[in-house]
Chain A
Amino acid sequence: MNGHDESRLDSVAVLAVGALPAAEARELEAHIAQCSICQTEYAELREAVDALALSAEASAAEFSAAQDERVKGRVMDVVRRDAARANPTGETNVLPLVTRAQRRNWWMPAIAAAAVVLAAVSTWNAATLRTETDSLDRQVALLQAEVNTQETAANESRATLALEQSQLADLLAPNAARFPISNGVVVRGDGRILFALRSLPPLPAGKTYQAWTLRRGAKAMTPSVTFQPDPSGLALIELPGSASGITTVAVSVEPAGGSKAPTSKPLFVRSLS
């Protein structure tokens, strides 16, 4: 058993409030696991921190009914659709990922419909001079319904993408540190680094995607794995070796077989510190 050290108690409080850098946190957590005095202190201070979160609870005025309706609408649309197609045996909680075709295509009908709406509005403007009021009212109602439909579609897609990103990270390593990138997420946990990338375009023959790592103190990137996305544009990659000391990761397109140094502008460069 590690000996108790009174000077650590202040650090225990910093850990409880979530302000201890990760490396120090891991070291202190290892100590807490062995030290009953620090365990008790941590448990007590976590109670205060848990309560602290309540101080931020928004009032009805701060989170307006309009905001609530908007957010709840987006969330419940996804939830109800998913619940409707869920496995009735309830054996899995992991949702199926939406297909690339679904992701790619949602905005196309939205744009087409927007063009239709704009054209129709122009026509309607000209028609106001010569058509009956009740007819115009019907057109306006139809146009408004069309716009509402497109807004709903856009909101659903936004919600679905948020859900997808969340799922990708959870599939890889629940509760690990997440580093969002434009088309996915980098996850570091349990000494591993994983990528979940989506919407990767297929590469021409003779080309490959390649991962790169930069270790603390190093002056140049080190080549890591090469990979190809699946037909839907998704790539779930675990970097080989320990994540220890890796401060930055990147991905670039390289000649088949990989390169010793990047030969093209990286798709992304993500700092992990």
Chain B
Amino acid sequence: MDDADRLMQRVRQRDAAAFEMIYDRYRRLVYGIAFKMLGEPSAAEDLTQAVFLKVWSAPQTFSGGNCAAWIARVTRNRALDVLRSRASHPEVSIAVDVPAEGALDDAVFARLDGLRVRTALESLPPEQRGPIELGFFGGLTHDEIARRSALPLGTVKTRIRAGLKRLRNSLEMSTV
């Protein structure tokens, strides 16, 4: 059991001090995702608040494993709710409850700071990075990405896969 697991176990026991440590550890991650998806500081602050209150009110939804990835998924999920409420937005798949198995563990995440991932992401060709960012941060479906990019749907899907594989390889090399 790693440190984040232990903290979340204490949060389940209504330990405010443990929760504060979780907040301090992940606040910039949550705000950063919220701001990137919503584009407004005040909306991102509200979302950050909502996400951490969700962590406090429903810590049992964290079933162990990668805490950062779980909080990131909760944040994206909530941001998609806001985007949908702003405009009619097609429902897209939200992998909040994806099992922890196979995901990067926190030890790997600890070595993967934001700067390193940004560098790896920026090293992708724009035609691969663009669809990935539109899907993940923009909350667009593959059809919408294809329309916006004026590309065939099959091309968009192929580029997303190629980009993710390249990103994964790049990150693996950078953490060796």
Contacts and interface: CB of A to CB of B under 8 A. Distances in A.
Contacts of A162: 46, 49-50, 53
Interface in B86-125: 88, 90-98, 101-104, 109, 112-114, 117-118, 120-121
Interface of A: 9-22, 24-25, 43-60, 62-63, 67-68, 70-72, 74-76, 78-80, 82-83, 86-87, 90, 93-95, 158-159, 162-163, 165-167, 170, 174-175, 177-180, 271-273
Interface of B is mostly: helix
A248 to B, nearest CB: 11
Given A63-B27, A170-B58, A52 B167 contact: yes
Interface of B: 12-16, 19-20, 23, 27-29, 31-33, 35-36, 41, 45-46, 48-50, 52-54, 56-61, 66, 68-69, 72-73, 75-76, 81-82, 84-85, 88, 90-98, 101-104, 109, 112-114, 117-118, 120-121, 131-132, 134-137, 139-143, 145, 154, 157-158, 160-161, 164-165, 167-168, 171
Nearest to A177: B91
18 contacts: A14-B157, A15-B95, A18-B92, A19-B92, A21-B91, A21-B93, A21-B141, A21-B143, A45-B161, A46-B102, A49-B95, A50-B109, A55-B121, A71-B45, A72-B27, A76-B20, A79-B53, A159-B53
B85 A49 contact: no
B173 to A, nearest CB: 13
Given A21-B92, A56-B35, 19 more contacts: A15-B93, A18-B95, A20-B141, A21-B91, A22-B92, A48-B171, A49-B95, A51-B120, A53-B68, A56-B32, A58-B28, A71-B31, A71-B45, A71-B48, A83-B16, A94-B57, A174-B58, A175-B97, A177-B91
